[in-house]
A and B are shown apart, each in its own frame.
Chain A
Amino acid sequence: MRKIGIFAFSIPVLASALFWWSSGPAHSDPQWVDSEVEVIAGDVSAEELFEARVEVIAMSCAACHGTDGRLRTAIPAIAGRPEALLNLQLQSFKQDRVPGATVMPRIARAYSEEELQGLAAYFAALDP
């Protein structure tokens, strides 16, 4: 058995229930974890987990927008752009409200509103 620890949950139950109730169960089922990992007690905050999740999603963005979202081609750079603008664009893609949009609506629909907002904050905070 590999020595991998899983931090114990430290998320308030009430908040979890609130999210489940508001968003449905589609993304609240932690079944991805390798069944062979060894559980070691530990604590990690909800904020840290959210930050880590946003970082993992953001890694995929780099394949079209360049490392850290800094490359300008026909596809725009996203690093250092205003957070509110990035968020508006991402939420609009998700809602299919951007006429003529090509791949972004198909991508944005895979993520929650909170994740898209987290991505907007992540890229806005990077140097352009």
Chain B
Amino acid sequence: MFNQPISRRESIKRIAGFSAAAAAWSWPSIAIPGQGASGRVVVVGGGFGGATAAKYLKRMAPELAVTLVEPNTRYITCPFTNLYLGGIRSFESLWHSYDELRQRYDVEVIHELATDVDVDGHTVELASGTRLAWDRLILSPGIDIRWNELDGYDEAAAEKAPHAWKPGDQSRLLRQQLAGMKQGGTFVLVAPDNPFRCPPGPYERVSMVAHYLKNHNPSAKVLLLDAKDGFSKQGLFMQGWAEHYGDMIEWVSRSNDGTVIRVDADRLEVETEFGMIHAADVLNVVPPQKAGFIADRAGVTDASGWVPVRPDTFASALVDDVYVIGDATQAAPMPKSGFIASTQGKVAARAIAAELTGRVLLPEPSWANTCYSLIAPEHGISIVGVYEVYNGQLREVPDSGGVSPMGADPLFRQLEAEYARGWYAAITQDVWGTPAS
């Protein structure tokens, strides 16, 4: 039914049979024998984590009833919004539908906001008042912004100084402001302390902004005020900035008074920790974040505002029968990325299929992540992480992963830019069924 030929099993058995490899799998596996084949799973959030979990649940256990709750009828990805800002990708190319989940995988998709969770009664409440019952609940709520955590930065301020960290109208607003910026103006990006969604995101963003400005506003400046002293793929980014944009981008670290403590959105000014006032022509504030609010409603967050999970399956560490995946979780050293959210969704789906069907085996889990960033349209860089559970903790598999080499030739950078575009096509096909264009 889902294109799983019988020969695969035979083939793998053959491989396993002739070497000591078979013995490597002396791992316990999880299942519930005799629980029966019925089961109802509700997934809240139709992004990289939730949409993937819904699809893979039905691939592994078609007999389960799977409902996806997502207010938007089309999903706009955060990945590649920076390319839209840089003028090298249309906004519409970031849109994805739920047609494949409905039509091919028989997932019930309800376009409503989930407003509350009753963990004892095993129900989710929707904005319309409808209650959905579940045997297992998956929350993939993404992030919410901590309004006013940064003094002066509230929802009204975001209409003047956009964050554009949740794609949609905010992305369009920032794009309009960038395109309308006066010649020789200053684009200021305020980057937060860890943890936050998409660790390389602010740095790819200033790259794509600089790419746009280089062609349309070459005397402009880009000022990156950072609450950190280091960032993801830092050496590669700084090398690329110098190569493509000369001194257009200035990065101010925390130690050099980069931490912004106050935003004045009306005057487009920010104040730093030691009292420096920076004026902007376009002000892009990436604010402090927390798990999406429905996680709070379900009682799965802790004092940090994020969600602790059991590392093997991403079941909530606090509430039974609830799984949480994606940016909302505390899953360090995994980054808050769309790729890893999708991988977490697959492993959680496997765990739930194992629990509810009793026939799917859950072996030692494995998660992979690859984050590409574009510094220029033909200059891509990447970071890879493969993760495992060791001594009850998530960790990177030793001697694996890492970033693109420093000093690689232009062909290598161009290949990684091509692979970045290939990755986007592949993951959006894998998650939403979007045909590759």
Which residues of chain A in 1-53 are interfacial with respect to chain B, using CB atoms and an 8 Å cutoff?
Answer: 2-7, 9, 11-12, 15-16, 18-19, 22-23, 26-35, 37, 40, 42, 44, 46-53
Stretch binding the partner chain, chosen from B198-206, B291-299, B411-419: B411-419
Q: How many residues of A are in contact with the other chain, CB < 8 A?
A: 75
Please classify how large the interface on chain B is, using the bins under 10, 10 to 19, 20 to 34, 35 or more: 35 or more
Residues of B within 8 A of A63 (CB): 339, 342-343, 368, 370, 423, 426-427, 430
In the bound complex, residues from chain A placing their C-beta under 8 Å from that of B181 are none
A95 interface hit (Cβ, 8 Å) = no
- Count contacts between A and B, CB distance < 8 Å: 260
- Chain A residues with CB under 8 A of B386: 60, 107, 110-111
Check if B274 is an interface residue, CB within 8 A of chain A: no
Note all chain B residues with C-beta closer than 8 A to A103: 370, 382, 384, 416, 419
Residues of chain B within 8 A (CB-CB) of A107 are: 368, 370, 384, 386, 400-401
How many whole Å from A72's CB to the nearest CB in chain B? 8
Within 8 A of B (CB), among A51-97: 51-54, 56-57, 59-68, 71-75, 83
Q: How far is the CB of A18 from chain B (nearest CB, A)?
A: 5
4 additional A-B residue pairs with CB within 8 Å, beyond A34-B313, A50-B16, A71-B426: A56-B350, A66-B430, A75-B426, A109-B399
User: Which of B24, B355, B360, B368 lies in contact with A23, CB distance below 8 A?
Assistant: B24
Residue contact B364 to A30, C-beta cutoff 8 Å: yes
CA distance A106 to B28 in the complex (A): 28
In-complex Cβ contact of B16 among A12, A46, A60 (8 A): A46
- Contact in complex: A117, B366 (CB < 8 Å): no
Q: Which residues of B contact A65 (CB under 8 A)?
A: 426
Q: Is the interface of B mostly helix, strand, loop or mixed?
A: mixed
Verify B346–A125 contact, CB threshold 8 A: no
B29 and A52 contacting across the interface, CB-CB below 8 Å:
yes
- With A31-B392, A63-B343 in contact, do A50 and B426 touch (Cβ < 8 Å)? no
* B226 to A: closest C-beta gap in Å: 26
- Chain A residues contacting B22 (CB-CB under 8 Å) are 11, 15, 46-47, 50
Docked complex Cα distance between A44 and B364 (Å): 14
B255 close to chain A: CB less than 8 A:
no
Partner of B23, one of A5, A15, A26, A44: A15
Q: Decide if B364 touches A50 in the complex (CB within 8 Å).
A: no
- Nearest CB in chain A: distance from B8 CB, A: 4
Contact of A32 among B33, B312, B350 (CB under 8 A): B312
Given A75-B426, A117-B21, A121-B11: A49 in contact with B346 (beta carbons within 8 A): no
Contacting A at CB under 8 A, from B332-349, are 339, 342-343, 346-347
Cβ–Cβ contact A118 & B426, under 8 A: no
B62: CB under 8 A from chain A? no
Is B421 close to A, CB under 8 A?
yes
Q: Which residue of chain B is the closest to A54 with respect to CB atoms?
A: B12
B residues in contact (CB < 8 Å) with A:
3-5, 7-17, 19-33, 35, 56, 310-313, 315, 320-321, 339, 342-343, 346-347, 350, 355, 360-368, 370, 382, 384, 386, 388-392, 397-402, 404, 411-412, 415-416, 418-419, 421-423, 425-427, 429-430, 436
CB distance from A30 to the nearest CB of B (A): 5
> Could you list 29 examples of A-B contacts with CB < 8 Å?
A4-B355, A6-B30, A7-B31, A11-B22, A16-B26, A30-B364, A31-B392, A49-B26, A50-B12, A53-B364, A56-B346, A57-B368, A63-B339, A63-B430, A64-B422, A64-B426, A66-B426, A66-B436, A68-B3, A83-B11, A102-B382, A106-B400, A109-B397, A112-B24, A117-B21, A118-B12, A118-B16, A121-B15, A127-B3
Q: When the two chains form their complex, are residues B422 and A32 in contact, meaning their CB atoms are under 8 A apart?
A: no
- Nearest Cβ distance between residue A24 and chain B, in whole angstroms? 11
Q: Is the CB of B21 within 8 A of A114?
A: yes
Distance of B240 from chain A, by nearest CB (Å): 16
Closest 8 interchain pairs by CB?
A114-B21, A32-B389, A110-B386, A73-B422, A15-B23, A110-B400, A49-B25, A74-B422
The CA-CA distance from A66 to B370 in the complex, in Å, is 14
- CB pair B7 A19 closer than 8 Å: no
Contact B400 A66 (CB under 8 A): no
Q: Which A residues are CB-close (under 8 A) to B404?
A: 102
**Which residues of B are found within 8 Å of A109, using beta-carbon distances?**
397, 399-401
Return chain A residues, CB-CB under 8 Å to B321: 2
Known: A42-B33, A52-B362. A47 touches B13 (CB 8 A): yes
Nearest-CB residue, chain B, relative to A21: B20
Q: B12 contacts A75, CB within 8 Å?
A: no
